[in-house]
Amino acid sequence: MKELDYDKIKEAAKAYNADMTAFLRAMISHPSESCEEGDVVACIKAEMEKLGFDEVKVDGLGNVMGFMGTGDKIIAIDGHIDTVGIGNRDNWDFDPYKGFEDDQLIGGRGGSDQEGGVASATYAAKMMKDMDLIPEGYKIMVVGSVQEEDCDGMCWQYIYNKDGIKPEFVISTEPTDGGIYRGHRGRMEIRVDVHGVSCHGSAPERGDNAIYKMADIVNDVRALNNNGCDESTSIKGLVKMLDPKYNPEHYEDARFLGRGTCTVSQIFYTSPSRCAVADSCAISIDRRMTAGETYESCLEEVRNLPAVKKYGDDVKVSMYMYDRPSWTGEVYETEAYFPTWINKESAPHVKALVDAHKALFGDKRIGCPKSMDKREGRPLCDKWTFSTNCVSIQGRYGIPCVGFGPGAESQAHAPNEVTYKQDLSTCAALYVAAVNLYDPSQATGDATEFRASLTGNDIK
């Protein structure tokens, strides 16, 4: 392991800050919603080639990958390059794609979520090559991954199964508000279908209104999210998983990650006309899963809701599948299930980032003045609230993941999205140091604290 000059690493990262800012603004200028990332892929590929990456390629799904070094083992740095839409344009104070910058901020859709991470990772790899800091026997892989907003981790299922690339560990550059993140809740997308019988709206008693049935179910879903877990509660709320009585093996991990949640996110219906009784109704449920919950337990909770049982065979509860074509036209069908995962703080890859941060910046979160209201007083090592590609990288495949990325979680999917210039160089410097502090010989058993069980589907 090489002796690191931390001051020199920080100086090199700061020297590239203007370049990283320009690169991020170029990415922001290309609208890149899920399945429409082609232009931003070309932008990233061109930047990697300009910076002298040893290899740059785009795979069949449309992920762009740049490699530095020639070793057989891979350390990957991942950032997704798709964004959500802009929503109501009237809620933006500036053009979401033209963006803006001042002395501290960069504005634009994708700044925090999460093209800023790709800018930092790309220049970190450049620094490693220029400073002869690519660890012996390794190559550094920077991934601009696609379709994460649509289907977290599906891009890495493709990389793992189709491209055959299996890194030793992965740094996620999703925004972490200056913290180092070692896990997050999982999630799944549940669909509930209700059957009814239509009739003329002038005599609704002749039919069986599917919307009315669904109204009962929706109320029960809300209770599942909101209720407590007292013995007298007929629908015990999801908070129960924080209680050792209901989650004896994993309640401590659940308390670290936070309780699971569920919410109705979409509703659909069919009816012969506006003057007829609805003959079907369906809802989508966004289900966030904490430690101790499985895809099976989440489906069974919905199937056991009083209203669902009341309507019996007229109700079907299932898990969504995802099969939307990528920007290249490739389809990779997978379940809309994204496993929960947590790493041990003592894991070598987590320790590498923590030790790098302490050596470079100290043991507290840092940032520019405009970012510190969300950072002061929070532990350096923590977890995400939302979900990331790590659901596949570590949740499915057990490849160790750890997160450190520029920007703020609270900026994700919000109008007037911003990120912070200082974070770009902070992250680039940390990636360089962490990769060189990583010592796999320190591993003692599995790095994983918790991983949710997988389904029986062997999706290749």
Q: Convert the pLDDT of each residue in 382-414 to its tens digit.
A: 999 999 999 999 999 999 999 999 999 999 999
Range 328-354 average pLDDT: 96
pLDDT exceeds 90 at position 424:
yes
Range 156-162 average pLDDT: 97
Provide the percentage of residues in the chain whose pLDDT is more than 70.
100
Q: Which of 37, 47, 78, 82 is the catalytic position?
A: 82
pLDDT exceeds 80 at position 1:
no
pLDDT exceeds 90 at position 261:
yes
3-state secondary structure the chain: CCCCCHHHHHHHHHHCHHHHHHHHHHHHCCCCECCCCHHHHHHHHHHHHHCCCCEEEECCCCCEEEEECCCCEEEEEEEECCECCCCCHHHCCCCCCCCEECCCEEECCCHHHHHHHHHHHHHHHHHHHHCCCCCCCEEEEEEEECCCCCCCCHHHHHHHHCCCCCCCEEEECCCCCCCEECEECEEEEEEEEEECECCECCCHHHCECHHHHHHHHHHHHHHHHHCCCCCCCCCCCHHHHHCCCCCCCCHHHHHHHCCCEEEEEEEEEECCCCCECCCEEEEEEEEEECCCCCHHHHHHHHHCCHHHHHHHHHEEEEECEECCCCCCCCCCCEECEECCEEECCCCHHHHHHHHHHHHHCCCCCCCCHHHHHHCCCCCCEECCCCCCCHHHHCCCCCCCEEECCCCCHHHCCCCCCEEEHHHHHHHHHHHHHHHHHCCHHHCCCCCEEEECCCCCCCCC
pLDDT of 31-68, one tens digit each?
A: 999 999 999 999 999 999 999 999 999 999 999 999 99
pLDDT of 273-320, one tens digit each?
A: 999 999 999 999 999 999 999 999 999 999 999 999 999 999 999 999
pLDDT exceeds 90 at position 436:
yes
Range 69-97 average pLDDT: 97
Range 258-278 average pLDDT: 98
pLDDT exceeds 90 at position 199:
yes
Q: pLDDT grade, residue 427 (50/70/90)?
A: very high
Please calculate the CA angle 29-33-37 and round it to the nearest 5 degrees. Answer: 70
Q: Which of 59, 115, 148, 177 is the catalytic position?
A: 148
Q: What was the pLDDT predicted at 457?
A: 86
pLDDT of 161-174, one tens digit each?
A: 999 999 999 999 99
- Residues 3 and 7: their CA atoms lie apart, in Å, by 12
Q: What was the pLDDT predicted at 334?
A: 97
Q: What was the pLDDT predicted at 446?
A: 82
193 is catalytic: no
pLDDT exceeds 80 at position 29:
yes
Q: What was the pLDDT predicted at 143?
A: 98
pLDDT exceeds 80 at position 423:
yes
Q: What was the pLDDT predicted at 458?
A: 82
Task: Let me know: does 134 contact 127? Beta carbons within 8 Å.
Answer: no
Mean pLDDT of the chain: 97
95 is catalytic: no
pLDDT of 91-143, one tens digit each?
A: 999 999 999 999 999 999 999 999 999 999 999 999 999 999 999 999 999 99
pLDDT exceeds 80 at position 154:
yes
pLDDT of 228-250, one tens digit each?
A: 999 889 999 999 999 999 999 99
